[in-house]
Amino acid sequence: MEVRRHIEVSGIVQGVGFRPYVYRLATERDLTGTITNTPMGVTIEVQGPRESVEDFVSRLPREAPTLARITDVAVREMPCNGDTEFRIIASQRGTAVRTLISPDVATCDDCLHELLDPADRRYRYPFINCTNCGPRFTIVRDIPYDRPRTSMAGFPMCPACQAEYDDPLNRRFHAQPNACWDCGPQLELWDKDGRRITDCNPITASVDAVMAGLVVAVKGLGGFHLAADATNSAAVTLLRERKRRVEKPFAIMVPDVRTAEDFCELRAAERAALLSIQRPIILLRRKSSAPIADEVAPFNRYLGVFLPYTPLQHLLFCEAKLKALVMTSGNLSEEPIAIDNDEARSRLHGLADYFLVHNREILLRCDDSVVRALESTAFNRKGREGGAKDAEKIQQLRRSRGFVPVPVFLREQISSILAVGGELKNTICLTKGKHAFLSQHIGDLENLEGYGFFGEAVEHLQKILEIRGEVIAYDLHPDYFSTKWALRQSGSQLVGVQHHHAHIASCMAENHLEGSVIGFALDGTGYGTDGNIWGGEALVVSYKDFERAAHFEYIAMPGGAAAIREPCRMAVSYLAHHFGRDFLQMKLPFAAALGPKVELLLQMLDRRVNSPLTSSCGRLFDAVAALVGIRHEVNYEAQAAIELEMAIGDFPDPASYPLELVRDQDQWIIGTRPLFEVLIRDLVSGTHPGLISARFHNGLIEVLGRVATLLRERTGLNRVCLSGGTFNNLYLAQHLQAQLAENGFEVFSQREVPCGDGGLSLGQAMIAAHNIAGHSPFAQGNPPAA
Ligand SMILES: [Zn+2]
Ligand SMILES: [Zn+2]
Ligand SMILES: [Zn+2]
């Protein structure tokens, strides 16, 4: 008996080869009917023998193309008609709008095969792509997503490409960036002053330059990279000097998984992440035998590693001369990545010896994503849509190319909010229905270029996602660029959100939690509602509101921001706070190394000059790192804390330093005096820094465990959310999770969204959505006075 079904599929199902896939699935079963793109996705009508139709329906989501992301399939019966074939119906004008735009995707195996096949018409063509791979998000000018509204508009297809584009059974059916040697973008090599070099093969010449120890700027998907030979110390040092980037680790690109395995330890989840279509940078444990220059990632046990993801990058490696390339974003330290050819010519002048460029415009900046793969099953998650098993093991540290603009799927519908994020590692978030769209990594808003990128991203995302935030959520810090920007927007309702409240709400949102939770928000800096700098916070949190239940004791930061750059200042501050000037008699090596500066800092503290108070956990890490001699000054954010964690390495130790809990009215204050007493005893007796670091970490875990138990007794809450940049510390995150789980807590952490300030915007949006009526203390138009 024949049946006919009407099927609505929503999610990312356009521009990803979904219609040809459905066409094949239907015709292989001799089914008749139609498929068409709709505003929400695709609509399929399918007719034939009941068994075949049911088989079709059950396979539909299971065997969908790699790039498709199905969020919903709605099936209903309908009357049969006289269809005699299965047809792809052209989408009606203006209808293919509200579907989700795909992120950029790494070159697929089929295209890679053709790229390296001398018989193929696209042999060595650096822009080969198909519906399963290639640029998407970074070439979109406007919606709906089709060629005239992308940066491929200026490249009319040749007859051969057009025929592929028009054939429903071809892998390039409606592949908008489809191109070949005859009709598509082309490469050029420029010298250091941006003059074109014509008498060479741009790829071979670039490889030779890198092999000779020079720096080549290579135009990628979301911006320029600066490429240098990662096995050559002098080349990496040169790159560091030019880029003015001291010690902050560089990522390396290697040709294949086997090379990655030669250099680093590789577990199953890490291998999967390396090979995933998003091709993020993955932090891998470095093998001591790896022939990678020490200057790539000084004092770090991890290397950021990724595989080629554009045809051009594959071509750089296919001559088999290069083993590993430093591929760092084309910019001066902490500025946004350069994308435009002319922009690169001017901004990267003096940084690169050559420029490997092309004439396909990048319309949206998008840095490489950085992730960590986790084997642990201790991380608790609510069930999500199917097929996410490998993705479940990925923890985002910087969510950008390959992942954006795939939304974070929310549990409930919320109104349209624009959340503008924080100051460092900025992202913005736009919400609509059950979707929260986080932007690519916008980065640090402390420089002029950063402001520009922020404005661009807000405008462009609102346009291509068709969301106008009716409400704008912002951080309470009055000096953040994003806050000032928000406060200038007239006509929108404004909701100020406390920094650590946003961190925990972000964790709740991605884990689909409702109600109230206990939240540990640990980080470097966040503006508190009392005007102090918070950062070691135990909160009782709902989306609507929060209560500060416990925090690390307040300590002065002598010199304000200078105390962030120079961890030794925090060491002096803690010791002076607990022991007065007596600590000068303790003969601590770090104090001796500081010389007369100690006295200056003490005077500053005595007089409370430029010494704001902080409860920051990051600053406590800084103090300990300085005390044990790991780092007196930092060259990049969180460097001292990272190196302190790295020091544990081969010195795990079950002992822990004591911290005290002191009741202060309605709050618990976490006191560090006993910790420093024992730590100093260890220091004086010559204990290894690795052991001290382990005991320090264990002490924090122990005291946070006690805080959680106290709060459970008081509130009855049993769910704990962990967020804030400090949880990038794997030792702390995993051991605290394990300890809390052992004590019967349900523990939630962040994976899909960074736990650092890159995840703030999601939490801001959720909190704003729950405070729109304006009756919360945090829903006022202006931040509290400093
Ligand atoms: Zn492909
Ligand atoms: Zn062509
Ligand atoms: Zn933060």
- What is this structure's pTM? 0.92
Pick the ligand that lies closest to the CA of residue 756: 3
Determine which helix (DSSP H) or strand (DSSP E) holds 502, and give its type and residue range.
helix 499-510
* Cα separations in angstroms, 780 against 247, 487, 771, 776: 42, 11, 10, 8
- Going by C-beta distance under 8 Å and a sequence separation of 6 or more, which residues neighbour residue 368? 222, 251, 280, 281, 306, 327, 329, 398, 400, 401
Task: Report the greatest alpha carbon distance in the chain.
Answer: 96
Cβ contact 497:474 at 8 Å: yes
Predicted pLDDT of residue 786? 33
Residue whose C-alpha is closest to residue 534's, from 612, 607, 621: 612
Q: Which pLDDT tens digit goes with each residue over 494-536?
A: 999 999 999 999 999 999 999 999 999 999 999 999 999 999 9
Sequence-ordered alpha helix ranges (H) in 182-310: 202-211, 233-243, 257-263, 268-275
Residue whose C-alpha is closest to residue 542's, from 501, 587, 585, 482: 501
Q: Which pLDDT tens digit goes with each residue over 268-321?
A: 999 999 999 999 999 999 999 999 999 999 988 999 999 999 999 999 999 888
**Alpha-carbon gap, residue 657 to 659, rounded angstroms:** 7
**Alpha-carbon gap, residue 783 to 477, rounded angstroms:** 7
Q: Which pLDDT tens digit goes with each residue over 542-598?
A: 999 999 999 999 999 999 999 999 999 999 999 999 999 999 998 898 988 888 999
Q: Is the pLDDT of residue 650 over 90?
A: no
Distance 47 CA to ligand 3 centre (A): 54
Predicted pLDDT of residue 332? 82
Pick the ligand that lies closest to the CA of residue 122: 2
Task: Check residue 496 and report its DSSP letter.
Answer: E
Q: Which pLDDT tens digit goes with each residue over 685-731?
A: 999 999 999 999 999 999 999 999 999 999 999 999 999 999 999 99
Predicted pLDDT of residue 385? 34
Distance 617 CA to ligand 3 centre (A): 11
Cβ neighbours, 10 Å, residue 373: 22
Distance 161 CA to ligand 2 centre (A): 4
**Alpha-carbon gap, residue 152 to 643, rounded angstroms:** 45
Distance 180 CA to ligand 2 centre (A): 4
Distance 99 CA to ligand 1 centre (A): 21
Q: Which pLDDT tens digit goes with each residue over 407-432?
A: 999 999 999 999 999 999 999 999 99
Pick the ligand that lies closest to the CA of residue 533: 3
Q: Which pLDDT tens digit goes with each residue over 14-48?
A: 778 888 899 999 999 999 999 988 877 899 999 99
Cis ω on the peptide bond leading into residue 405 (within 30° of 0)?
yes
Task: Check residue 701 and report its DSSP letter.
Answer: H
Distance 402 CA to ligand 1 centre (A): 15
**Alpha-carbon gap, residue 679 to 754, rounded angstroms:** 32
Distance 96 CA to ligand 2 centre (A): 25
Token digits for 269? 């989840």
Q: What pLDDT band is residue 392 in, cutting at 50, 70 and 90?
A: low
Q: Which pLDDT tens digit goes with each residue over 345-356?
A: 999 999 999 999
Ion ligand 3: residues, CB within 5 A, are: 523, 526, 757
Q: Is the pLDDT of residue 397 over 50?
A: yes
Sequence-ordered strand ranges (E) for 234-353: 251-253, 281-285, 302-306, 325-329
Rounded to 10 degrees, the C-alpha dihedral 241/245/250/255 comes to: -40
**Alpha-carbon gap, residue 93 to 240, rounded angstroms:** 51
Distance 151 CA to ligand 2 centre (A): 16
Ion ligand 1: residues, CB within 5 A, are: 108, 111, 130, 132-133
Residue range 229-251: average pLDDT? 95
